[in-house]
Every structure is written in C-alpha cells, then in structure tokens.
Amino acid sequence: MDDSSAVTPLSLPADDGAAGDFVALYRAHFSFVWRSLRRLGVDEHSLDDAAQEVFLTAHRRLPEFEGRSTVKTWLFGILLNAARHHRRAKARRPVHEPLGDAEPDTGGPGPHESAVRAQARAVLHAFLDGLDDELRAVFVMSELEQLTAPEVAAATGVNVNTVSSRIRAVRAQFEQMVARRRARDPWSPP
C-alpha cells in the first residue's frame, strides 16, 4: 500500500495557511491523480492539462473540504469529472496519432521488464477503454487504487450495494479477458 492512499493531514506550519495545505495536498497526491487520470482514459498528451485542471479545482475548493471523506476520495471525485471532460473534448477533436503510452521514467527496470510492463499496461488500457464510464471508474478505484466500496460510493455518489455489484461485474469481465488472452497465447502475460 503506498503512502498516498492513507488519509493525510493537510496542514503545514500555521504561517503557510491555505497555500501550505495545497502544497501538501499536491505533493502527497500528484502521482495518484496522474495515474488515475490515465487509467480513466485521458490521453498521454492531455495528462498534464487534466492534472492541472484537477489541482486548480482542488485549490479553489480546498476551503470547502469538510473531511467527511478521505482526501483521496475527494480528489477522485474531482478527477473523475476532469477525465470525463477530457474524453468528451477528445471526441470532438480530429483523430491524431498518439505520442505513446509512456509513464515517467523512474530509472529502474531493464529492457525486458520494461517491455513486459508496457505490454501489460497496453492490455490494461485496452480493457479500460472497452468499459463504460461507471464500470471503468469503479474498476480504477477499487482494483487499481485499492479504495473500499464505501469510499468508491462516496466518490461516485452511488449506493454501496450498486458499487459492490459493479465491482463484481467488472472483475468478472476482467477475468474473462485474462482467460481469453491465456487461451490465445499461454506464454504471454495477462
């Protein structure tokens, strides 16, 4: 479990005020926002703009945050709307060749591991692209970001039972996709 999933206090020294709260929020949750936007279908070339939009909205709404949910859940609600906005805007624009599906370089894995990860990431993104918005959001939050069903319900404004049903449905779809891929090529990663 990464540190960004925990409820993080949003305060720095008292003299920093709201600006300090925002800096702490940004530092603690930028990678979560970036990953989630990509997983929700924001194109690689639009990620920076979408992340900026999320944090501008969060900055504007930070004084209104009452702590009734976790910061991560609150941010996910904001980024879910930003992702929808960017996907709708993409549908109105002419189709261009994508720049690639690269994540920021961390200087770690070798070429083989990088290729396997890139292939797995491409399979995951293809799966996510095939889901409707509701199932996609639930899958990203519950399976990839490890949020609980009540947290997903709070972020999406949907009943917990409906969220649980959607989680079961999307897990079944994912397992079917993995089984089909393994049947085609048992040596390839899922």
Task: Give 22-36 pLDDT, tens digit per residue.
Answer: 888 899 999 999 999
Q: Is the pLDDT of residue 142 over 80?
A: yes
pLDDT of residue 133: 86
Task: Look at residue 5 and tell me whether its pLDDT is greater than 90.
Answer: no
Look up residue 89 and give its two tokens.
């805007």
The token pair at 130 is 């095939």
pTM beyond cutoff 0.75: no
pLDDT 10s digits, 60-89: 998 888 888 888 999 999 999 999 888 887
So what's the pLDDT on residue 91?
67
| Rounded distance between C-alpha atoms, residue 163 and residue 160, angstroms | 5
What is the model's pLDDT at position 68?
Answer: 84
Mean pLDDT to the nearest integer, 142-151: 89
Q: Kindly list the structural domains of the chain, giving each domain's residue range(s) and its CATH number in brackets, ordered by start.
A: 8-94 (1.10.1740.10), 109-184 (1.10.10.10)
Q: Identify the residue with better confidence: 12 or 152.
A: 152
Q: Is 86 left (phi over 0), alpha (psi -120 to 50) or beta?
A: alpha
Rounded distance, CA 139 to CA 93, Å? Answer: 27
